[in-house]
Structure 1
Amino acid sequence: MTKISFLAGESPVAQAARRELSSLYGHVAPEAAEVIVALGGDGFMLSTLHGTEHLNVPVYGMNRGTIGFLMNEYSIVGLHGRLASAEEAVINPLRMRAGTAGGQEHRALAINEVSLLRAGPQAARLRISVDGRERMAELVCDGALVSTPAGSTAYNYSAHGPILPIGAEVLALTAMAAFRPRRWRGALLPKAARVRFDVLDPEKRPVMADADSRSVRDVLWVEVESEPQVRHRLLFDPGHGLEERLLREQFE
């Protein structure tokens, strides 16, 4: 039988599911598991992937939260069979480097997106460079983000960015409420591209950076690129993988 580690969010529903499934199928520590089953919503799935990325163990999510784009339907029946027939999707996160006004440099990984957001009442002013070449001298906006295909239906889509096929070797660069250039919505970039944002007038127009909800305030510059050395392995029920979900999202 497959050795399973059950991890759950803090909600009573998720914790109850963890106890029930553990009693039915047994439970081992994540380090000893062949599969990790995450019980919660998408936020907990992201937390689980970040917390277990060093183990190279596939993660199968079951929805016990409010949002479950990365999760499978919850059921206590036939879990071993579902795991055996599950389809695997491998995704690479983004690596963020951010320099602050205090002279510190922060690093973080993001499975969905890295975003820059204005941290005051006035719009942010950003300069955008790609692979060392300036592409936009000034973007005046509420913010901007770089999204992976896996994260393209999240914040990126809410900001009117494109939905990307999971196998696409591209990243989405999307503006949020762009004021100048007013009609600029963003760009599609090669997956290997290195994107740099420089904050113009940071004292008057402070900016914060966020990598999957891990925030850095008062940034002066942010660099974002894909991290191919980190591989997140997600499991989905047959016919309900990320590719299908991304396609379905565009027709709803």
Structure 2
Amino acid sequence: MNVHLDTFDIIIASMDKTIRDFWNNYKTMLYLMGRSYGSNIINRIISTNVHSLIQEIQEINFIPVKLEVEDDNVVVNGCLVSLLIEKGVLIKDCAICSFLKGCISKLFESFDLSVRCRCLPISYENQMEMVKGRMLILSMLSQAFEKLFGDKLSVIQYYTGQSIAKVDVFKESKMDIESSIKYMSNKTPWFVEIFQKKGNHRYLVVFRDCIIRQTHKTVCTKQGGILCMITHGYLEKYISTLTGKKVKLKLIHSGPNACLKELEVYV
């Protein structure tokens, strides 16, 4: 998979902003969702003391933070969210920050320890660790989306995807569909090929390289959900901008190594 940290950051920022825009009490709601997420982690671990719990959390990489015990405190000595705030990707009062606070408080409440955060950016040894941390945040935000938006989810997903699509090409003459797909494959983290043309306005396309499918695979979440629909909104806007035509993506089949989708062009 090609590494596109900027694209991960754009999606994270847009999802976080969507939550803040639609919910005034997002801090409380995300905090409670984080506690629920922490309960799920507790059900999957075997540690019985705080030091082994921290070690297990760090080894399995359940949450993108670095934890230590100091006196009677669990200290967050590094956090990916702090790094993204420092980079300007997220704001200080971001939704995912409340989620993580709730998660960490739940993980350690049985030990009667307080949790302190130094708000320091996390330090990663390699680029793939940076990618994995962002995938974890996307997974957390997607869970929040499901619970917050319910029956409005499909509209919100599409809105979020459309809002992040930016095309760095300005041409007087628009591209055809084939050229736009090739251009998109060279400029974005999605490598797409036309598999079959169905009539004049429909194409079967294969998504061979996809950061969302890799995210699902890495953090063990189900394909075809919220993040996939956000991708549809993103790529529809991208191709429409290049071609000057409205397009619609529809999932036909999802797999571990590639996904088959139908691209319909409206003329």
Shorter-normalised TM range: under 0.3
Return the structure number with greater strand share.
Answer: 1
Q: Structure 1-normalised TM-score?
A: 0.27
Return the structure number with greater helix share.
Answer: 2
